[in-house]
């Protein structure tokens, strides 16, 4: 019987089907191994290992001489394994730990009943022990008198220098602090330079299977140290002087800044009251804000120096130009008055500034243009050049721009021009005033205020100064500042320093109360901005006494126990010592101006004291 002819085809068909199944299997296997392989491997590894981040060591903050302002230290937290502790041992822990931590009876009971609950696998007894507490606990664990406990070290931010105010750390508002739960810098220098100080964490994969071990996924980078222009010794002295004025004047706050006008380096910067950055628990959050950059206020008559700058630069007056100072200047229903409610008659412009005459300065402001609109633009442009109404760019967190109305966006009325010429209806920060006065002392160039000197061993690039006024104008304005302190008796007596060049200007301003929509008649902001040096200005010093109630109140006479210009002098003496400034080559430096009212009055007063006459 002949063979069947379809066997060959049936075999081929079966083989084809088998090949198809094989191909599908190979493709499926390839899919799981090649396409899904990494995901499956990751899923498998996730079951036998965990990924964790190990924080980088935060960089130190140093002063200009390398002294530590902020650093990282290690403290222990104390933990327990309650389910491994029997009742007898539990009571020993309550007594031993309770004594070391100085717990009262209620805290001991909480430790006994809640923290050491035998149903819990792990409990935290204290998150941060002192070094002495850690030593005592470690000794008891080593001696096996306490069991079921562990000490876990963790990094903490430490501010090692006590501040000038008891219970505070040095430069607390300037430096800020590090948030313990996140390790993030908050406020001040810590906040501004957080990315440099913090570094990046090390990431590791820890295997939990029998083999154990770990794999470094990312080595991370420790934070870098930064060096600031601050001088620890001057900073401490400054804080002590501010504390003295704060207590004497019963002010809400007292603040100050010391800056090198040549470089823009800030040598000291403080505000009292401060806080302890090592322990911020319970601290009033308002103390975290640094008023030197975050609080604006109407500065009063210090702004007359900017009006003088505009007028001298525009050549609408000279220092000897005579201006009529009357008791009142009217603008329809509005009026401007001098603080003492009097007029001093026709007087040189230098005396207008020295005796801080509101009416005469308002008249000079009107000369800046043919009409109010033009004069307003000229004054505002001077503000802009000197940094008013804009952030200075100082490298500390929280800086605000202030309030300065642009007359091209919102035209000024004649009364607005007058008021703004002597420091009302404009709001500034203290660092803006330092920035604005720096060109007056340094030949007309403005520098960038800053703290950062170096990152690690790499020096910070120096920012080139910008010319904002003519050299002649700067010289004239500086002479005006020296005439204020050398020509007016009470300023001379309160601010001059024998053998050193001193100049400056005061500002006294009422405080606007928004709720009452009026000025507070009792409290004032007192400001003084000036310079000190040997033959040239070597430091700008700005002080502000916030919201103080003068002990003497009279027309043109608001007297504090420590005035703003007296506080300036005390700070300037610290600057002289810190910078080791040599005496001026001018034999008249630090003496009242020759032929001035200050010389006559102080000489007479000195003679009276010498002879016992009153």
pLDDT tens string 486-539: 999 999 999 999 999 999 999 999 887 766 557 778 899 999 999 999 999 999
**62 pairs with which residues across the strands?**
68, 227
| pLDDT digits 0-9 by tens, 297-311 | 999 999 999 999 999
* Matching residue, tokens 């950055």: 277
Other CB atoms within a 10 A radius of the CB of residue 144 amount to 7
User: Over 78-141, what HEC string results?
Assistant: EEECHHHCCHHHHHHHHHHHHHHCCCCHHHHHHHHHHHCCCCCCCEEEECCCCHHHHHHHHHHH
Per-residue pLDDT band at 393 (split at 50, 70, 90): very high
pLDDT tens string 266-306: 999 999 999 999 999 999 999 999 999 999 999 999 999 99
SS3 581: coil
Distance CA 476, CA 168 (A): 43
Q: What region, left, alpha or beta, does residue 148 occupy, with left being phi > 0 and alpha being psi -120 to 50 degrees?
A: left
- Taking only the tens place, the pLDDT of each residue in 331-370 is 989 999 999 999 999 999 999 999 999 999 999 999 999 9
pLDDT at 15 over 70: no
Strand bridging mode 226-228 / 61-62: parallel
Q: Which fold has domain 232-611?
A: Beta-lactamase (3.40.710)
Nearest CA to 236 among 395, 69, 71, 433? 69
Is the backbone peptide bond immediately before 273 cis, with ω within 30 degrees of 0?
yes
Weakest-pLDDT range from 123-127, 320-324, 492-496: 123-127
Q: Where are the domains of the chain?
A: 82-147, 232-611
């Amino acid at each position: 019987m002949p063979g069947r002819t379809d066997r060959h085809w049936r075999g081929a068909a079966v083989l084809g089907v088998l090949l198809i199944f094989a191909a599908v299997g190979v493709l499926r296997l390839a899919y799981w191994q090649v396409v899904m392989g990494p995901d499956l491997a990751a899923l498998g590894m996730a079951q036998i290992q965990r990924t964790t981040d190990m924080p980088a060591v935060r960089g130190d903050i140093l002063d200009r001489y390398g002294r530590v302002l902020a650093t990282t230290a290690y403290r222990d937290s104390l933990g327990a394994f309650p389910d491994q502790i029997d009742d007898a041992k539990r009571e020993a822990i309550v007594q031993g730990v309770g004594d070391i931590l100085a717990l009262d009876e209620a805290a001991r009971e909480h430790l006994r009943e809640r923290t050491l609950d035998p149903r819990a696998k792990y409990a935290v007894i204290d998150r941060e022990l002192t070094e002495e507490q850690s030593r005592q606990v470690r000794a008891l664990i080593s001696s096996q008198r306490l069991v079921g406990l562990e000490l876990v070290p963790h990094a903490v931010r430490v501010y090692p220098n006590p501040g000038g105010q008891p219970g505070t750390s040095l430069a607390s508002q300037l430096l800020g602090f590090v948030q313990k739960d996140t390790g993030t810098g908050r406020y001040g220098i810590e906040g501004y330079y957080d990315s440099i100080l913090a570094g990046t964490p090390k990431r590791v994969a820890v295997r939990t299977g029998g083999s154990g071990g770990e794999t470094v996924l990312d080595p991370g980078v420790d934070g870098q140290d930064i060096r600031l222009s601050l001088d620890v010794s001057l900073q401490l002295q400054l804080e002590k002087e501010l504390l003295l004025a704060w207590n004497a004047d019963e002010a809400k706050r007292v603040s100050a800044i010391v800056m090198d006008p040549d470089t823009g380096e800030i040598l000291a910067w403080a505000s009292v009251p401060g806080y302890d950055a090592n322990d911020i628990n319970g601290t009033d959050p308002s103390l975290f804000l640094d008023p030197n950059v975050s609080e604006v206020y109407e500065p009063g008559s210090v702004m007359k120096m900017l009006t003088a700058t505009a007028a001298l630069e525009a050549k609408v007056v000279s220092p000897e130009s005579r201006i009529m100072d009357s008791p009142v200047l009217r603008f329809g229903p509005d009026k401007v008055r001098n603080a003492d409610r009097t007029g001093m008659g026709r007087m040189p412009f230098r005396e207008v500034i020295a005796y801080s005459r509101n009416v005469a300065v308002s008249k000079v402001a009107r000369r800046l243009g043919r009409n109010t609109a033009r004069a307003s633009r000229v004054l505002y442009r001077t503000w802009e050049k000197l940094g008013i109404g804009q952030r200075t760019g100082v490298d500390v967190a929280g800086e605000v721009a202030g309030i300065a109305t642009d007359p091209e966006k919102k035209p000024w009325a004649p009364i607005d021009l007058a008021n703004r010429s002597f420091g009302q209806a404009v709001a500034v920060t203290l660092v803006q005033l330092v920035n604005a006065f720096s060109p007056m002392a340094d030949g007309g160039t403005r520098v960038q205020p800053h703290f950062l000197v170096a990152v690690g061993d790499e020096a910070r690039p120096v920012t080139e100064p910008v010319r904002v006024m003519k050299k002649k104008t700067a010289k004239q304005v500086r002479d005006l500042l020296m005439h204020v302190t050398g020509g007016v008796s009470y300023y001379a007596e309160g601010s001059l320093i024998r053998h050193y060049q001193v100049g400056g200007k005061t500002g006294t301003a009422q405080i606007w109360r928004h709720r009452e929509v009026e000025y507070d008649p009792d409290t004032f902001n007192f400001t003084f901005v000036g310079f000190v040096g040997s033959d040239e200005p070597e430091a700008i010093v700005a002080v502000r006494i916030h919201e103080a109630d003068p002990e003497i109140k009279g027309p043109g006479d608001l007297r504090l126990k420590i005035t703003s210009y007296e506080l300036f002098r005390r700070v300037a003496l610290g600057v002289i010592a810190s910078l080791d400034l040599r005496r001026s080559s001018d034999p008249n430096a630090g003496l009242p101006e020759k032929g001035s009212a200050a010389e006559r009055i102080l000489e007479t007063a000195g003679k009276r004291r010498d002879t016992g006459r009153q």
